[in-house]
Every structure is written in C-alpha cells, then in structure tokens.
Structure 1
Amino acid sequence: MIEATGLTKRYGSTLAVNNLSFSVASGKVTGFLGPNGAGKSTTMRMILGLDNPTAGQVRIGGKLYHELKEPLRTVGALLDAKWVHPNRSARAHLQWMARSNRIPAARVEEVLDTVGLTSVAGKRAGGFSLGMSQRLGIAAALLGDPEVLLFDEPVNGLDPEGILWIRKFMQRLASEGRTVFVSSHLLSEMALTATDLVVIGKGQLIAQSTTEEFVARAAENTVKVRSPQLPALRQQLISASAQVTDAGEALIVSGMDSAKIGEIAASANLVLHELSPQTGSLEQAFMQITGDAVEYHTGLEAEARQAAAIR
C-alpha cells in the first residue's frame, strides 16, 4: 500500500504539489490522472525518494522509501524509459541492477523473457526504439519481484498489441495482490485498465474514487429509446417529469431509468424497439472535472470541454 499525507513540494516560488493526501490499495490497478503540469511526475519522484518533500510524507507498506533495505525487492518503478546507459546491453543493465540489490542473476533472464526482450538482450540499449525501451524499463521494475509497482506513462511507444499486453499484465499483477499505481494520458486505456483513480490538478487532489464512480459523478446517465410511436411516448415521458431530447428517430431521456421508461410505455400500450442506457466516458468526466485545473487552454480544448459539459 502507498499512503501519501500532506505531501507538498516547492521549487522556489513554484508550488508543484500542494498538501496532497491519498492512498493506493493493494490488489488493484490505480490510475493516476491529471492535466499536464498537475504534479504527477513530481509526486511519483517523491514516493521513490528521488525528490524530498517540502512538507508531508509518503509511506510504502508503512515505511519511507529510504528506510527500505534492498528497495527493488519492495518497490519497482518505471519513470523514464530512456534512463539507461546507451552503450550497455539490456542484459548488462539488468545484471547491474540485480547485483546492487542481491537479486539472483537467474531473475534477469526471467524478466527479459516476461517482457519479450530475450532475443535482443545482448544489444545496446541506446539503439532501442521507445517501445523496446519501455519493455526494458518494465523488466527493471519487475526485477526484485516487488509488491508495489509504479509506472509513469508505460504504454508510450507501444503498438496496439503492446498496449493490450501491458494492460493485461498490470491487471494480472494486481490480481496477485500487488499495489499497481500507473499514470497515463491515454484515458480510454485507463478506463479499461484501472479499477480506482487518483485525480489531481495544480498539485492538489481533485478526486479519489473508483473509475465507475468518477465517471458517474460527472456524466448524467441517459437512456436511448426508439419506438414506432415516438410522439405519444415523448408526451407520456414528459408528463412523468422526464427530460426528453429528440435525436432523429430516437429519444434521449434523462432523469428516469430504463425500467421506469419501460413501465410507462407498457401502461400506455406503446411499442418499444430500443431501450438502452447511455453512460458517460472517462474522457468526458476527466475534461469536465479537471477543467478548472488546466493552466493553459487552446481554443480547441475549450470547445471540447464545453461540448463535454453539454453532453
């Protein structure tokens, strides 16, 4: 488990993280979301002891990072895929890390195989593509078979097959009881990967909840209804205090669930051809809830946020 309490970080006059408190439970993939400049990378660096907090603290399994003996056995992290000596082979890089934490050399070959790099293990890491570098970074994170894993933008540079692989892999790690904390700008991917979310903006906590609760909080659920008797059905729904919007050959109904709509149609002897709940997306919810936490807006971004709020 990761527990952040009152976490604050100043760089001169810039307040990068401001009194941030949250927890990351084991057995789940927790997504770490926020606009650019929200303080996600700074927070991850403080979790790993790479930056010292101005105030507050982060504990991993009840301990500060610098209190961990052989930390790779407790925490594995991928923050910068290119953090490796370019002239060192993938295998040599992992062997050096393993020796520093008394990890058996055989573990190096295991993680190389896990991430699919066995065939290029002897090649210079400096010649790797971004996708291959990401896989090497994931291998390094797994080296000590840790209980806690942090990934910062782990799918950058991966092709669709690689993205699917890392999604299932993170979910499998969580199913083993590990703590998996991952940041990403690919909101559609986070919607498929993360069970829980920690959302920040301008260095402050905006929300901590399940992914489902976060989406439901921002997006009003609606029901799409099709019927050969739309005008009559529309009138019945309005009379029952539903909000009804015409959508071509269908109605979009809010303020009433599908069961109630079906009951109203049945009592009026009206035929239904479709009755399907419509839910919001993580992208919609993120844009709506973090709108005030974005430091710089382009014209297109402002239009997109306005459209998300209308939906």
Structure 2
Amino acid sequence: MTKQFGAKKAVDDLSFTVRPGIVTGFLGPNGAGKSTTMRMILGLDQPTSGTALIEGRPYRELKNPIRTVGALLDAKWVHPNRSARAHLQWMAASNGIATSRVDEVLRLVGLSEVAKQKAGGFSLGMSQRLGLAGALLGDPKVLMFDEPVNGLDPEGIVWIRKFMQRLAAEGRTVLVSSHLLSEMALTAEQLIVIGRGRLISDSSVQEFVDRASEASVRVRSPQLDALRSALTSAGLTVKEPSSLDQVHPTLVVAESTTEAIGEIAARNNIVLHELASQHGSLEDAFMKLTGDDVQYHGAGTDNDVSGQAGGRSDSMGGALR
C-alpha cells in the first residue's frame, strides 16, 4: 500500500501479513505512518494505491465488521455523557449483539463496578479498558490496538500484556502498536517495524534484536589489568563499561564467547568472579535500525506509519495482509 498526502508519502509501498495465534507488534519512529496504516486497514483512510485485506476482503466488504475485526484507535472517542454500559449497549444494539455480551466484556476488562458511570469522567486508563471492551464486543477473530497501554498503571500494563497474549493463544490475530519497547519485548512474538512509511523489518522479536545487536561478554575479575592485557593480546576488543564499578572491576568484550574468555583466563591463571554473555535489548536494536528514519526529534507524540494488510482465515483468526 501507498498513501500520499499532497507531496508527502505517509506510506510507501508497504506490504506485510499479520498472522493468527501470536501477538504482532507494530513499531516505528514518530511520524512513521503506523496510525495511517491502521486507518487504511479499517477503511477510515483510502490508500492512494494498493489494498488492505482482512480475511481476504477489504473492510468495506465485510458483512458484519464488528464480528470480524475489533479495533481500538482512539480511547477518547466515546460520548462523554454516556455511561460505559450505555455506550456498549448502543454498539451491541446497532450490530445485533445480545445485551448479555455487554456485561461479559465489561467483566473481561474490569469495568463492571463503574459500568454506570459517565465515560467523560474516566481516566485515560479506564477509557482504554472501555475501548478494549468495545473492540471485543463482537467476539472478533482480528484485533487491532493502537497504543493500548497509554494511561495504564504498572498493574494495568501487565494485565493488558497477558490479556493480549491470551487472545492470541485463542487463535486470534492481534496487531498492537506501542512506544513502550521494553513492554513490547515481553508481549509480542513478531514485529513489523516501519520508518518513513517503508518496511524496515518483518521478523520475530529475537531475530530483530540479533540483527542489530553485537554479542558481547561481561567479565569481572580482581586482576583486571592482567585480564585486559591477556584479552587484547588474544586480539579481542575490550571495552570499559560507561559506569565502571570500582568495587567490582568489570570489562565488556565484544564479539566473543564465555568459553573463549574463560580459556584465556585459565591459561593466564587469572581469577574470574563473573563471566556472562550479554545481548542487546529491543530498544537498542530499534534505535540502531530506525535512527535514519526519525522525522521528529525530541519529545512528541507518535504520528503513525504505513503498511498493507490482507488476509486469509486460519483457525480462529484471520490474517491481515
């Protein structure tokens, strides 16, 4: 898919597939086009060229959209004078869904006790939960969430992580965008990463991290000078940690293994107090691979990206392609 706004390409020839049974993270720098892509998948924006499909069909051709795909793009779109229950009852009535489903989804997202309160008085976290309830109302096979952890406290973030993983384990297709990279590393199995509207990576979380990370080994010894000399003599690159612990002297050895360093230390009769492999984080990998695609530097909100979606039906969930 491509989406042009005047002279600007918000989405640039973007193609990917989101498969059932796993949580797929949708990442990109500010202004990358994530929200634009999600809006095109849901038929809210029309692509300049290309197609977005849900279970093999454009959104506008779905007979019962709310029963096929549930989405949370804006937690604050609810009428402020409607109660949580009234809002969901309206959605249910307009889509031929039993009223009993309203109370069921309110329980699922933990809003039963505030169901009669007006949505306008909800915190952002409570609004996110109400948005999740709306997305689940039709028991859809495909779920799309744009920044669903915004406004949630730590307990709520852990809850939504497990919630999304449970939905995926049921065979549903789950696509979620987030700026909390450490949380995404714990939530998603697959990552779609875009920058300036173009696809940067479509891989598992581990493959993405490994692709951008340099393997290293952390080694601690009371004989630091002798260890450093032995390692450099063996042709290894030795780095001093940025915050060197003077009480527990430590070195970081790039592109090596614990076995190789242990053998060098043994040959030189050097005592080791710690020897551990180090791997990069999702945040490190993301910054390295998307650094050239950042449009807006400094503090700000995520403006989105682009992509193409479509699908086939597999088990419970349908793919987005």
**Residue 66 of structure 2 corresponds to residue 99 of structure 1:** no
Q: Deviations over 1:67-119 (max 9, x none)?
A: 21111111110000011122222111111211222222111100001111111
Moved more, 263-272 or 87-96: 263-272
Q: Deviations over 1:158-214 (max 9, x none)?
A: 111111111111111111121111111111211211111111111111111111121
Structure 1 distance, partners of 2:5, 2:252, is 49
Residues 46, 58 of structure 1: 8 Å contact kept:
yes
Alpha-carbon offset, residue 134 of structure 1: 0.6
Equivalent AA in structure 1 for residue 140 of structure 2: P
Q: Residue 252 of structure 1 aligns with which residue?
A: 252
When the two chains are superposed, the root-mean-square deviation of aligned CA atoms in Å is: 1.6
Where in structure 2 are the equivalents of 1:87-236 lying within 5 Å? 87-236=81-230
Moved more, 120-129 or 46-55: 120-129
Equivalent AA in structure 2 for residue 24 of structure 1: V
Structure 2 distance, partners of 1:122, 1:298, is 40
Equivalent AA in structure 2 for residue 277 of structure 1: S
Structure 1 distance, partners of 2:298, 2:106, is 42
Q: Structure 1 residue aligned with 2:71, among 62, 74, 77?
A: 77
Structure 2 distance, partners of 1:152, 1:49, is 15
Q: Residue 312 of structure 2 aligns with which residue?
A: none
Q: Which sections of structure 1, spanning at least 5 residues, go unmatched?
A: 1-6, 300-311
**Residue 42 of structure 2 corresponds to residue 48 of structure 1:** yes
Q: Deviations over 1:204-227 (max 9, x none)?
A: 111111111212222212111012
Equivalent AA in structure 2 for residue 227 of structure 1: S
Equivalent AA in structure 1 for residue 10 of structure 2: A
Over the matched positions of the two proteins, sequence identity in percent amounts to: 69
**Residue 295 of structure 2 corresponds to residue 295 of structure 1:** yes
Where in structure 2 are the equivalents of 1:28-43 lying within 5 Å? 28-43=22-37
Assess, with a 3 A threshold, how the Cα gap between structure 1 residues 120 and 227 changes in structure 2: closer, same or farther: same
Structure 1 distance, partners of 2:147, 2:75, is 9
SS class of match (1:253) = strand
Equivalent AA in structure 1 for residue 251 of structure 2: L
Equivalent AA in structure 2 for residue 265 of structure 1: A
Structure 1 distance, partners of 2:73, 2:114, is 22
Structure 1 distance, partners of 2:273, 2:292, is 41
Equivalent AA in structure 2 for residue 172 of structure 1: R
Residues 34, 200 of structure 1: 8 Å contact kept:
yes
TM-score (norm: length of structure 2): 0.87
Q: Residue 243 of structure 1 aligns with which residue?
A: 237
Assess, with a 3 A threshold, how the Cα gap between structure 1 residues 253 and 140 changes in structure 2: closer, same or farther: same
**Residue 70 of structure 2 corresponds to residue 86 of structure 1:** no
Structure 1 distance, partners of 2:293, 2:25, is 18
SS class of match (1:214) = helix
Equivalent AA in structure 2 for residue 44 of structure 1: M
> Higher strand proportion, which one?
1
Alpha-carbon offset, residue 246 of structure 1: 3.3
SS class of match (2:256) = coil
Alpha-carbon offset, residue 269 of structure 1: 3.4
Q: Residue 10 of structure 1 aligns with which residue?
A: 4
Q: Deviations over 1:116-143 (max 9, x none)?
A: 1111111221221111111100000111
Q: Which sections of structure 2, spanning at least 5 residues, go unmatched?
A: 300-321
Structure 1 distance, partners of 2:261, 2:41, is 49
The number of residue pairs the alignment matches comes to 293
Q: Deviations over 1:42-63 (max 9, x none)?
A: 0000111111111111112222
Alpha-carbon offset, residue 298 of structure 1: 4.3
SS class of match (1:58) = coil
Equivalent AA in structure 2 for residue 253 of structure 1: V
Structure 1 distance, partners of 2:20, 2:91, is 25
Q: Residue 64 of structure 1 aligns with which residue?
A: 58
